[in-house]
Amino acid sequence: MTQRDRIVIVTGATSGLGLHLAQRLAGRPGYSVILTSRSAAGADAAARPIGARGLPLDLGSLASVRAFAAEIAALTDGQPVYAVVCNAAIQVVQERTTTVDGFETTIGVNHIGNVALIEALLSTTGAPERLVLVASGVHDPDQATGMPHPLEDATVRELAYPGARHPSDESLQREGRRRYATSKLLNVRTAIELSRRLAGATVVSSFDPGLMPGTGLARDASSWQRALWATVFRLLVVIPGVQSPRRSAGQLEHLVTDAATVPSGTYVARGRPRLPSVAARDVEAQRALYADTLALIAEAEASGARGASVTKAG
């Protein structure tokens, strides 16, 4: 990594789309890649063979996000990185869980963690030239994805702290898939809002890689579902809308590196600019989502600071 290199951060890059993208970028002259995993060992194991740098980052922990941003600032002497690709995501379908900060896990990792990371990097190193949030066509009820429709009218606070509001007539698996679809809607809304907030500084995009059988997204599914996802479903790449991680990574690489990229705020599906869902294009919902997410992060960090102070005093 040199001062002249374009530094690209790719989150969740130990397998699937993220790893394929990191491999492609690390092989480009003038680019240096920092890839992340929840564990330092996992990040290093993925990064070393491709000539990248691996760092630990757990998007389910605001403390981990802050530590990661501080380490990036130390590596870059406080200068902005070239691009950030928010690829890491989780889909929890076997149980209801929360992050260490108390957020529902899928929303906490896929949305709140991403916003916390972006804001932490903006504070420590400044605005990158490119920012991509990996979304999904499942955010759009008009697309025949087979996924439950997202909760378009729910506030981020309701999603982060669902409590007794969990739909009682849904199985845990369907409920978890609906949360995932909702988190992808939040990704698209966030990208559009950030395109306004970072206008003139950063080209922000959301990217739908298509259905990619064989990736690690099904890791929380049952054993037989994981087996199908890793084997039989790989044969589906001949069907429109289904792509291999390698092909999707090539499209994402183009979005990150091409000087003549799409306008900021664009939703790109399988390499082509497209209109996102009607709900994703709701400007007031975009603004409220981002402002309310920042408030949730501030509240959680303040609560954590108070807890640490009490522990230290005791």
* Every domain of the chain and the residues it spans: 6-306
Q: Which whole-number Å values give the CA distances from 12 to 65, 130, 235, 295, 303, in the listed order?
A: 13, 17, 24, 25, 27
Q: Give me the residues paired with residue 8 across strands.
A: 33, 83
Residues lower than pLDDT 70 in the chain: 1-3, 164-168, 212-242, 259-260, 305-314
pLDDT at 258: 83
- Under CATH, which number does the domain 6-306 receive? 3.40.50.720
pLDDT at 248: 87
Name the residue type at position 305: A
pLDDT at 1: 57
CA 12/CA 216 separation, integer angstroms: 10
Q: Give me the residues paired with residue 98 across strands.
A: 104
pLDDT at 270: 83
The conformational region for residue 16 under phi > 0 = left, psi -120 to 50 = alpha, else beta, is left
Question: Which of 45, 21, 182 is CA-nearest to residue 109?
Answer: 182
pLDDT at 246: 84
pLDDT at 244: 77
- DSSP E strands, the chain: 6-10, 31-37, 53-56, 83-86, 130-134, 203-208, 266-269, 272-274
Question: pTM higher than 0.75, yes or no?
Answer: yes
pLDDT at 19: 97
pLDDT at 3: 60
